[in-house]
Amino acid sequence: MISRRDFLQATAAASALTIGSGLGPLGRAAAQQRLTQADILRFDPLGTVTILYVADTHAQLMPLHFREPSVNLGVGEVKGMPPHLTDAEFRSYFKIAAGSADAFALTADDFISLAKNYGRMGGMDRIATLIGAVRAERGDDKVLLLDGGDSWQGSWTSLQTKAQDMVDVMSSLKLDAMVGHWEFTYGAERVKQIADSAPFAFLAQNIRDNEWQEPVFEARKMFERGGATIAVIGQALPRTAVANPRWMFPNWEFGIREDDIQKQVDEARAAGASIVVLLSHNGFDVDRKLAGRVKGLDVILTAHTHDAMPGLIKVGNTVLVATGSHGKFVSRLDIEVKDKQVADIRFKLMPVFADAIKPDPAMTALVEKVRAPFAKDLAREIGKTDSLLYRRGNFNGTFDDLICNAMMSERDAEIVLSPGFRWGGTLIPGDAITWEQITNATAITYPNCYRNQMTGIQIKEVLEDVADNIFHPDPYFQGGGDMVRMGGMGYAIDISKPMGSRISGMTHLGSGKPIEASKTYTVSGWASINENTQGPPIWDVVAAHVAKVSTVRIEPNTAVKVTGA
């Protein structure tokens, strides 16, 4: 595993790659109320190849607010290293001014005030404008558009159309290739149907049929751009069958398959590739480790953990790109090739400030078309919020607190569990809570809200298992995501401890008494990976609760005590 010292040395050595790659001038321009589309697109082009990259959009067709985490802890040798920096530490590392457009886009500090100043981000018609502008500047024959996955899930329209809305949008963008994770929760048959018919490549070198060990999807595709041959190797989330319901794709096996990646790289080089790209849904820390072990990768386009970084991270001769989530950013990499090798790379993380970018008319029309059958439902106002409602954070988010409160109330539970998903928009105080906002945080294909009996020891086992998934010191054993959210119970966690000994001090908040190992508690939760889970869809549970309270107010959550960070 790369050491902290090696990482810092590698970052320093890569300074030529990262200088000027942040948002820099945008912050000053926006602060002076003159941020323009030209500011966002401004770039000193390099070479003859441009790669444009988006990831983890989670089916968000429209501009939205999305607050980045204020807690994103790293463990082991990545402790205190990007992307495990937030707020002031993040701004210091990347030289970002507080209160700037950069700060609003990339950190959580002063989010409410900055959101009012800078507005929403993302929107597929704005993304289309940026992509179209770069293609017009460079020429279609020099531009490769790639998607890092988690694009077909996360909205009501994607759920109702079984991802067809996003497939249509991606086709309109003229996407070249993508990989998957949440895509697989539409089931093997639906995913294969799309992969076999879409005008873009669906790549995954690490998925095998479990009977014959044959590849399920194309592993690699070669592209010619700007006179160079580019090999794109696809990598799906290795732990999909653990993180999501295995019964939805029962005949597939996943895994990192490091040796197979090396084989793909070697074959690509032998076939004449000047640029080798791993289009990866591993998660950033997994990809950082992999970059130090697989030889010959020029670029890893990393996804899954939703990290957004305005500079490239270099490990050996490989650069890692983290492009954020929810359509907030489009990454641009210009690559100069000499003697069939990468000679230089120039990078910019382009922020998609919706108010500064002219919507692409054709994409606006397409988005309106795919949303039209659901427009009335999406706009239905259920209540409003007096609190900032957000998703991200290692241990809690206020939108998750709302979901937990809803389950406590509507399912008559003593303790509730809600998954630490990193997707779903942010609402600022005064915003309406619409059906769209609720389903943006809950729209999955296994939404049933169960009500079961669990012993204290079973609850602890759940917490220990999730904690190890996040805080295992070896990235290859991490799965991404955040800690399961709790309602009705508090606990302490020491993230430095080994598996089975991180969780202590479990307390029933209703009675103030310690959770007893052998005692049975009524527990509610959702997103169970078990087949035939019974219960109402979680969105109905949340909507019923919001309708009853009318105005949502979330009190500060201090039920989780964290040490070892």
Instruction: Write out 455-488 in H/E/C secondary structure.
Output: EHHHHHHHHHHHHHHHHCCCHHHCCCCEEEEEEC
CA 265 to chain centre: 26
CB 459 within 8 A of CB 523: yes
Task: State the pLDDT at residue 21.
Answer: 40
Task: State the pLDDT at residue 35.
Answer: 86
Contacts of 279 (CB under 8 A, 6+ apart): 146, 148, 177, 178, 179, 203, 232, 233, 234, 235, 301
Report the candidate in 321, 303, 325 with the shortest Cα–Cα distance to residue 312: 321
CA 241 to chain centre: 18
| DSSP assignments along 355-381, one per residue | GGSPPPHHHHHHHHHHHGGGHHHHH-E
Query: Which residue bears the tokens 């200088």?
Result: 19
Contacts of 155 (CB under 8 A, 6+ apart): 58, 59, 60, 61, 165, 436, 439, 440, 443
Report the candidate in 410, 378, 329, 398 with the shortest Cα–Cα distance to residue 159: 378
What is the C-alpha separation between 27 and 356, in angstroms, rounded? 13
What is the C-alpha separation between 432 and 380, in angstroms, rounded? 9
3-state SS assignment for residue 315: strand
Q: What residue ranges do the domains of the chain occupy?
A: 35-61+121-369, 380-563
Helices (H), 390-455: 398-410, 435-440
Equal CATH topology for 35-61+121-369 and 380-563? no
Task: State the pLDDT at residue 176.
Answer: 99
Neighbours of 274 (CB within 10 A): 23
Average pLDDT of each block of 10 consecutive residues along the chain (565 residues)?
A: 39 34 50 78 98 99 98 93 97 96 97 97 99 98 99 99 99 99 99 98 98 97 98 98 97 98 99 99 98 98 98 98 99 98 98 98 99 98 98 96 98 98 98 99 99 98 97 94 97 97 97 98 98 98 99 96 94
What is the C-alpha separation between 254 and 242, in angstroms, rounded? 10
What is the C-alpha separation between 16 and 24, in angstroms, rounded? 16
Kindly calculate the radius of gyration of the chain based on its CA atoms and give it in whole angstroms. 23
CB 94 within 8 A of CB 310: yes
3-state SS assignment for residue 294: coil
Burial code (b: 16+ CB inside 10 Å, e: under 16) for 52-89 equals: bbbbbbbbbbbbbbbbbbbbbbbbebbeebbbbbbbee
Q: Which residues pair with 433 in a beta bridge?
A: 383
> What CATH number labels 380-563?
3.90.780.10
Q: Is the pTM of this model over 0.85?
A: yes
Report the candidate in 138, 147, 68, 72 with the shortest Cα–Cα distance to residue 102: 68
Name the CATH architecture for the domain at 35-61+121-369.
4-Layer Sandwich (3.60)
| DSSP assignments along 149-200, one per residue | S--S-SSHHHHHTTTHHHHHHHHHTT--EE--SGGGGG-HHHHHHHHHHSSS
What is the C-alpha separation between 443 and 433, in angstroms, rounded? 15
Report the candidate in 527, 528, 479, 526 with the shortest Cα–Cα distance to residue 240: 479
Contacts of 112 (CB under 8 A, 6+ apart): 388, 428, 429
Neighbours of 451 (CB within 10 A): 17
